[in-house]
Structure 1
Amino acid sequence: MHFPLASILSAYLEQAQLSQVSLIAPLTQGLSNQNYYIRGLHPSKPRAAEWVLRINSWASSQICNRQHEVLNWQLASQAKLAPQLVYVSPDKQFYLSEFFAQNEQRCWSDLITANASHPIVTMQELWPGAEYKLLELLNGLKKLPAPNNVMGFDEQWQVYQRRLELMQQQLRTHKLKSLEVESWLDLHSQLVALKQQVGDMLARLAGCLVNLQFSHRDLNPYNILVVEDKLKCIDFEYACSSHPLSDLASVIASHSLSSEQRRWLIENYLSEHPNLNSKAGNAVPAAVDLYWVFAVCWALQMAFDCLDGDSLNSNSLNNDGLPPDEAIAVSRPSCADYLTYGKQYRDLIASCV
């Protein structure tokens, strides 16, 4: 059944104090939450403006502390490194933030790619000067106050292992039989087989660490905006105090840069870095590999939450007077999609090549 967006989203708009809404449109980027472009009046500005309404998915809320997300987003926003967050629902189910239009002819998201820790040599610069903008963003983030929520590489790996083991047990207990379940279990077993290699990555990264710092942890091009020729980042679901190489690794892994741009960015980010020692340069490949290990973990978790949702989860209930996720979904990835992503991420880990 088709529901006009204005009708479906009316409860959200009212709670967020949006009025005189003249346009609503889905924003298609994003693999977890639902995002909508809104043009309307909000008390934070004297006249009608453009906004992003983000409705958090049940699945992503299981692997993200929304309170920490909001606090870290506000830290970055105060430093002009993120859009302003103008409304947060009391239950953290949805947010309203500034919208910044992007140049459709030259959009930062065009730089999206997937690089292994030792990418092929390339001379092509899709965005000349991208390395300077990225360094400014990385340096700005590292100067922010370290958040109270701490998640180093070791802790994150342990959390993922425990969570995925429980999911595996639940799938076996329910004795669900399908190609997707078998594919999930197979991918999980391949991840478990990497424990020794992951241990080696963690040891190398521990060897170059001096102090933890503010870390966004998912600086892929879809999470970066160009505003007045500077970069701002969005989606702070995984932001925390973490290893100083986590943000550099996510940039190197996900951005299409020339070999020279990549070399310059790594060299200048590491130069006299207060939170890293001289071993950091040799640890960058391990950080990139670990980025893809964690990406496999994320894909498995998201796929699990799509598996037989009615019997495994209770996300169809909503007692807040707001529409359930299904009513507002805009081309949400399926379980099969997430498993495909997970297999692609697995193939980028150096130990799996």
Structure 2
Amino acid sequence: MRFRASVLGKLLGRSSNCMQSRVPSGGVCDVTHLPGAVVTSRHYHPNGDPPRILITGSLGQLGSGLAALLREKYGRENVIMSDIIKPSKETWKSGPYVFADILDFKCLQEIVVTYRIDWLVHFSALLSAIGEQNVPLAIRVNIEGLHNVMELSKQYDLRVFVPSTIGAFGPDSPRDFTPNVAIQRPRTIYGVSKVHAELLGEYYHHKFGLDFRCLRFPGVISADTQPGGGTTDYAVQIFHDAIAGEHFECYLRPDTRLPMMYIDDCLRSLWEMLVTPENLLKRRTYNVTAMSFTPAEIVAAVQKHFPDLKVSYRPDDRQKIADTWPKVFDDSEARRDWGWRHVYDLPSMCDIMFSKLRAAGVENNTALADDAVLARGM
């Protein structure tokens, strides 16, 4: 869920009404699957239509990109974006959008029934840095909201995807080549809520047969939203500062290694996980990653494009969070079980980030939307 400071309080004083913002008009397209994928009537309408998909918290970093990807594959009217924020004109025109308060079960239930939802992608959450500033709200959104999603998915036999994070691990976890199964014990409420989501989803799968799917994402880097001060956001801010000719001040030590992933790889991994046949899934939660680097390493990569970039380091409280997270993710099981492969490494990511930022006018100070402050990845 994506929040501005001005709307944080709305969850606490929300209306019980669930207003539909845009009514779908149908639309069918061919369904694309991984090789060997099996289409079952459980997640497709009997008449052969593609799945109808609800994305909660869709105005965050991943939601708009995922909606565009899924609409390309399944048809624009089959992917329903939702959030508690008023959408932009572009979002409104791009396809169905509804108000959805994840703390209101009946609101979600009405959407699932009205739009005949088959798959639910649950992005709504308060992220690491913001969650530490408002723990009670993070518990309500990240845990109570999840409970509503899980019960609704069980009741209506939905396929549900809930993202997890490197933040689900803690200082007792192995930090080099962190495996899928290891001691976790995170030190942030965001991480605690994600461990809860992983375990609850696995329980619902084994107890009730819920088709629960989860990926642990590393830091996600994108040119489409502004950095918002999250623990891995330095790896986005450096591109903005470099292209604007500004001094880059990093809030982590230069040797702080963390797993990262370019957004296109992230979204593709999510879709591939969604459509993987159940018989190929050896577990319900997988690590995925693409690269691991330090601030010093990304500085060196960026300076190949902007040699005059000035850099300084001033670690703050985010350093304490980063010091408890994995340095390198082991995603070998995802690569083995369902064929996950990344495309972008650090040099190719730098190329595409600068290309997209220039195309967006950042170099000329025509900034990207500034309401993405809390929509970042970690």
What is the TM-score with the length of structure 2 in the denominator?
A: 0.26
Question: Which structure dedicates a bigger proportion of its chain to helix?
Answer: 1
Higher relative contact order (CA 8 A, sep 6+): 1
What is the TM-score with the length of structure 1 in the denominator?
A: 0.27
